[in-house]
Structure 1
Amino acid sequence: MLRGVLLVVCAILGPIGVASTPLAASPDPARFIFVASALDPTVAIIDSATDSVVSRTRLPGLPKQIAALNKGTELVASDVGARRLYVVDAASGSVKRELDTGIAPVLLQVDRTGTLFAVADPDAGAVELIRSAGGPTLRVPDLTGLRSMAFAPDGRLLVARGTRVALVDTAAGRIAADFAADERDGLIVQVATDPGGEYAFAVHGERGVLTIFALKETAKATRVQLPPPVGRLLPSADSQFVMIPVAGGQAVSLISTWTLKESARIPMSGHVSGLGLGLFQSVSIGLSRAARTVQTVDLRDRRRLAPLPVPGVPEAGAPSPDGLKFYVALSDTGRVAVIDVLHASVSRVIEDVVGGASTVVSAVGSAYCH
């Protein structure tokens, strides 16, 4: 079975402007953690080596979506109102390139090379494919019911629409294959792929179903029933398993990519609203907004560790590049809690990061939650 490493991470943040506070020194951008707000048009940059805010970039409007490029040296951000993408230098905060879109870029994904952007407008039922260096934009229309999209490692784009998943040839800008799920399982709310590129996972949230498709054979592989409703699925970076909150976040299920069956179901102490991974995929991190806690689980022996109280509502999180720490945005306080994954403790709380923090993304890696 082919195993791979996901090189591109996208997370929901927003449009970038030109006003910024430049970096005081020259830290390694691969160590950056980016924190954005749904209330304040600012992106803060944390150096994970020192756990300090080293820069803030003021945006012209509230953020929507953002992705880290080139190991943290650049950001790409979508501006829904202006129908434009901005490629921003992370060190200076200056806009290096502006790329117009013909549709509102509500959804944004970046391929593993960091050179191809996919934007989607669910209302228009369309996707556009845009090269970061410029060139013709390709539009894929007639995607009614579009809810989610994700790049496969080979560069093809998966688009969830209704109860189907379209497999888009990004070189030609056309649908190369179309997967059909059982309509009785309801709408697909998320599509994801394992970093090895063997499977596409279609999440039917309300019905608690995963429909799994084999990408090489372009055929349905199996259907997994889980306790509904289910949350957002997170693949491991080593392609060994995927994780998903089940039963409204009361537990977390692990699905093996070897057997395509549920290999474990771990009860949680608080309803999990987001998932992450750390310490080389050996520890899962669950965020509970209601309980204001972070729940860690040692995946090697399925041992649930004591919940960690945090001083605020845990909204989103992302791991440090080395996986030893996990950064949790506290949306009601403007703080970021730093979780020591190895010792399952809150090692630090970074003050005054950004008000209303809603998204956290690492410069490199894939084990994020939001």
Structure 2
Amino acid sequence: MTLTNRYGRTMLRAGAAALGVTAAGLSLHAAIVSRLARLPNVPQDGGAARLLPNGWRVSPAGRQIDLPGDMPQTMLVSPDGKYLLVNTAGYHTHSVNVIDLATEKLAQSVEVGKDWYGMCLDSEGDDVFLSGGGKPDDGFLKDAAARKATPAQLAAMREPVMRLAFANGALAPKAGLSVAGLDESGRWISGLACGRDESIYVANLGGDMVYRVAGKPRAVAASAHVGRRPYAISLARDGATLAVSNWADGTVSLLDAGTLKQKALVTVGSHPNAVLWSKDGRLFVSCSGDNTVRVLRGGAVVETIKTSIDPSALVGSTPDALAQSPDGKRLYVANADNNNVAVIDTSSAKESRVTGFIPTGWYPSSLAISPDGKRLFVGVGKGLQFRANATHDTKVTSPESVQHYDYIGDCLSGAVSVVPVPSATQLAAYTKQVIANTPHPDTSAPDARAARVAKAGFAKIKHVVYIIRENRTYDEVFGDLPQGNGRADLCLFGRNITPNGHALAEQYTLLDNLYCNGEVSEDGHRWCDAAYATDYTERMWPNGYSGRGEPDDDDGLVDSPAGYLWDNCARHGVSYEAYGESSSFKSSPNTPPLFTGPKTLAGHSNFEYSQIPWFGGPRDLGRSDIFIRDLKAAESNGEWPQLMILGLPEDHTQGLEADAFTPTAHVAENDLALGKIVEAVSHSKFWSSTAIFVIEDDAQDGPDHVDAHRTVGLVISPYVRRGVDSTLYSTASFVHTMELMLKLPPMTQFDAGATPLYNSFSDQPILTAYEPRKAQVDLEARNPKSGDGATASAKLDLTAPDRADPTALNAILWHALRPGVPQPAPIRSASLVR
């Protein structure tokens, strides 16, 4: 049997073993797609599908229960089956929530200040143990005290393991647990497990350690060093073996539950996270980095289950949570980035079968099932849709008071979907909806004009210049352009400050429906460079950006399993050079510079460019000078890289930090640097075969009347079509378009599924060179050394992008540039697909 997937690859059944999938499992995936293509569309419980800014749709099944926080981490059903416990650890309130399963309503929510993934119920069911995440800093505790946290609550937040009493469906604070010997400086408590002998097992992601805390009073009875960045832990049903998923190195540690001595270290897939023991002794491990669940028995992998709809799909499904029916016949797997739950028949210990998919809200992050197996509970990480965050008459009383302004993190929301376990017929209908919610631009032939562009336009591009800037929304910069969908009253950096940006948008094409895939710089740069952000990044950035801290990064956790654009180039013989982006060097007076960035960027990174500090030094004009100098040298020798990635970050600004350059000067310098780069390229010998792409890494720092993900982007080339292009594009659309031009394959499901910028290009070149516009403001203007703005800015960390509180920084910018005008709030939206 021959199958052709939506990426145009032909697959033979004989090749299934190479994918790690059983032949029966492979044919079942194909059978699902074939059968469902013939079914009528069935409206889902969640109503009309909602279009997300990234081009995917959500239509969550079941009944929805809103939570006070976002990113649910763990869900537990009480021993009597009456209650569901849910802890949240996202940007909003960190809390433990009690849902009454008889009424399916939120019965109680207890704020805990900060927590993380681990939660377990003791053997008696009357104590809830909770991960304390990282050590809270003094500033966090001070803020908690200001919010009226009691001394007991503050003390509990300091403990690595928090505890709540649980009786009659109600939670109450209780003294936490200390862990002797734990390195407090770098601790980050992740998974927890409760044993029948009242032992508590504690994983410290920050120190690669697992502890067994036991006895009365509880004390550390055993400890063990495990693999890199232990995440989830689970105790076998017979109580003999503890399984630990090592998130960063693709292994699972199997430990003796009493002594914590290692029984086996098993290599599984990329980014193993959730672990679950079946009643028959199998261990299921979800591997978010390769769309799989690995099945272990006897210390070895005996089966690999692909959880993506298409078994040959690229990286991007992100399985991150597991639940199994009480009878062991069904396994449920949350595919976070596909917004669905895979349903797997596990009734046979020899061969599991994927039977269908259930649609969910945005980024399902946890799962549980009722004791009778009739209801599935799905924790929704990012929400059911994005929302308008405030009215247009929101008042900001001072640069330091932005009480009613919602930052992009504030607009994330959490929920629990209660889904009756579907029949075969309903599951088939759900699966058809999941397929419909997934972008499929490659399944239908482009129209005639787009086909001409792809052949005659894209094929002429031999060089791509990719410029990544920092944090602006569309309305902040282009809101004053009447030909686009903008609002002039939200425009902070209009034509007088960004004359080159405006001229380029008008001389080439204005993109007024472009969205960032990421919310902040931490995930935004990953999306720009890799068309993907890992489960680690998506779960961690809300902690860091809400002031709760993050553990030290690990390349095994933050790097996309599919690699980055430069890796894609290296694999396919495309020349490349990085200017600042992901480039780092270590140097001293006595030694030559040592490159410390990604291996494939060694020898492909400009040292001088990387040495310019984020703020200060030569600034963005200094950066542009280095690039232009290299361009002129390439004109002499004829060798210019095919892909060049430039960080041009000065539009981030430093707020009103005393004596720093003003926000206007920062943005105007960034604009002039862009103009000079385009001028140099358009006057060069390479112009006729070059395309320049300009985008912000994220749009977190300002208002936009459509959605706070909507951003400023430009495409500049002789082959760019003049006018306005209102096609919905995303960061991944830019990546996909560049890949098509450079004849690179897609890296993930997101660039593969993103709409290319066909509508922005023509098959007829216009070779007119660009003449830059002069700055219309003082590029050397400095902030006052004192005043309200300087005082507010002094409280922020402005040493590099995104270290400052983004809400406060944006308020400072607004009041500096629009004095006396109430600050409108950004709007988050979701389009209804009828």
Q: Same fold (TM over 0.5)?
A: yes
Note the C-alpha offset of 1:303. 3.3
Q: Give the whole-Å Cα distance in 2 for the aligned partners of 1:230 and 1:181.
A: 17
Structure 2 CA distance, aligned partners of 1:89 and 1:187? 34
- Which amino acid is the alignment partner of residue 236 of structure 1? A
Q: Retained in 2: the 8 A contact 1:278–1:324?
A: no
In structure 1, give the amino acid aligned to 2:282.
Answer: V
- Letter of the aligned partner of 2:307 in structure 1? V
Q: 1:67 Cα shift?
A: 4.2
Q: Report what 2:367 is aligned to.
A: 360
| Deviation by residue 1:2-46 (Cα, 9 ceiling, x = unmatched) | xxxxxxxxxxxxxxxxxxx79xxxxxxxxxxxxxxxx9xx997xx
The structural deviation recorded for 1:327 is 0.4
Q: 1:101 to 1:92 in 2, by over 3 A?
A: closer
Q: Distance in 2 between the 1:171 and 1:86 partners?
A: 12
The CA distance in 2 between the partners of 1:126 and 1:89, in whole Å, is 32
Contact 2:153 2:173 in 1 (8 A): no
- Which one-letter code corresponds to 2:352 in the other structure? S
How far, CA to CA, are the matches of 2:238 and 2:142 in structure 1? 33
1:346 corresponds in structure 2 to: 353
SS at match of 1:141: helix
Q: What aligned pairs does 1:175-214 form with structure 2 within 5 A after superposition?
A: 178-183=178-183, 186-190=186-190, 192-214=192-214
CA contact (8 A) 1:330 1:357 kept: yes
Task: Give the match's secondary structure for 1:142.
Answer: helix
Letter in 2 for 1:224: A
Are 1:75 and 2:57 counterparts? no
Question: Which position in structure 2 is the counterpart of 1:304?
Answer: 301
Asked if structure 1 preserves the Cα contact closer than 8 Å seen for 2:286 and 2:320, the reply is yes
Question: What is the alpha-carbon distance in structure 2 between the residues aligned to residue 268 and residue 100 of structure 1?
Answer: 37
Instruction: Choose 321-330 or 211-220, whichever is displaced more.
Output: 211-220
1:76 Cα deviation from its structure 2 partner = 4.7
Contact 2:81 2:370 in 1 (8 A): yes
Partners of 2:80 and 2:185 in 1: CA distance: 39
Give the residue type in structure 2 aligned to 1:293: T
Among 307, 317, 322, the alignment partner of 1:317 is 322
TM-score by length of 1: 0.61
Query: What residue identity is the alignment partner of 2:326?
Result: P
- Give the deviation of 1:242 after TM superposition: 0.9
Structure 1 pair 269–64 and aligned structure 2 pair: CA distance change class (3 A):
closer
Residue in 1 aligned with 2:339? 334
Q: How far, CA to CA, are the matches of 1:241 and 1:75 in structure 2?
A: 26
**2:251 matched residue in structure 1:** 251
Show the counterpart of 1:222: 222
Q: Deviations over 1:230-254 (max 9, x none)?
A: 2222222332121112372422111
User: C-alpha distance in 2, partners of 1:224/1:325?
Assistant: 33
Q: 1:185 to 1:267 in 2, by over 3 A?
A: farther
Check conservation: 2:156, 2:175, Cα contact below 8 A: no
Q: What is the aligned residue count? A: 292
Shift of 1:351: 3.5
1:191-239 Cα offsets, whole Å, 9 max, x none, are 6344223533332324322233332364432331223332222222332
Which residue is 2:284 aligned to? 285
Q: Give the counterpart letter for 1:90 in structure 2.
A: L
Q: State the one-letter code of the partner of 2:366.
A: T
Q: Is the CA contact 2:190–2:203 (under 8 Å) kept in the aligned structure 1?
A: yes
Q: Distance in 1 between matches of 2:121 and 2:303?
A: 37
1:172 deviates by 9.6
Q: Is contact 1:339-1:345 (8 Å) kept? A: yes
* Unaligned runs of at least 5 residues, structure 1: 1-20, 23-38, 45-52, 128-136, 157-169
- For residues 119 and 333 of structure 2, the distance between their equivalents in structure 1, rounded to whole angstroms, comes to 22
Whether the aligned pair in 2 keeps the contact of 1:305 and 1:344 (CA below 8 Å) is no
2:200 is matched by which residue type in structure 1?
A: A
Q: Are the equivalent residues in 2 in contact too, given 1:149–1:191 (CA < 8 A)?
A: no
Q: Does the 8 Å contact 1:288/1:314 carry over to 2?
A: yes
Q: 1:291 to 1:93 in 2, by over 3 A?
A: same
Check if 1:93 corresponds to 2:98.
no
User: Does the 8 A contact of 2:278 with 2:324 survive in 1?
Assistant: yes
Indicate if the aligned counterparts of 2:131 and 2:160 stay in contact, CA closer than 8 A. Answer: no
- Whether contact under 8 Å (1:126, 1:142) holds in the other structure is no
| DSSP 3-state at the match of 2:343 | strand
Residue equivalent to 1:142: 155
Q: Is the 8 A contact 2:194 2:200 kept in 1?
A: yes
DSSP-derived class of the 2:359 partner: coil
Deviation at 1:333, TM superposition (A): 2.7
Q: Which residue of 1 aligns with 2:294?
A: 295
114 and 56 in structure 1: CA distance in 2 versus 1, 3 angstrom threshold = farther
Determine the C-alpha separation between the residues in 2 that align with 1:354 and 1:256.
38
TM-score (norm 2): 0.30
Shift, 1:83, TM fit: 8.8
Residue 275 of structure 1 is matched in structure 2 by 275
Instruction: Provide the secondary structure at the position in 2 that maps to 1:220.
Output: strand
CA distance in 2, matches of 1:56, 1:200: 34
AA partner of residue 309 (structure 1): K
2 CA distance for matches of 1:204 and 1:76?
23
Distance 1:43 1:76 in 2: 24
Unaligned runs of 5+ in 2: 1-44, 47-53, 145-149, 309-316, 380-534, 536-834
Does the residue aligned with 1:332 lie in a helix, a strand or coil?
helix
Name whichever structure is richer in strand by fraction: 1
1:314-336 CA distance string (max 9 Å, x none) = 12111111223210011233322
Q: 1:244 to 1:354 in 2, by over 3 A?
A: same
Q: CA deviation at 1:255?
A: 0.8
Alignment match, 1:34: none
Q: CA deviation at 1:360?
A: 0.8
Greater helix content: 2
In the superposition, relative to structure 1, how do residues 245 and 191 fare at CA in structure 2: closer, same or farther (>3 Å)? closer
Percent identity, aligned pairs only, is: 17
Distance in 1 separating the partners of 2:293 and 2:338: 16
SS at match of 1:233: strand
Query: Greater CA radius of gyration, 1 or 2?
Result: 2
> Any conservation in 2 of the 1:57–1:93 contact (CA below 8 Å)?
no
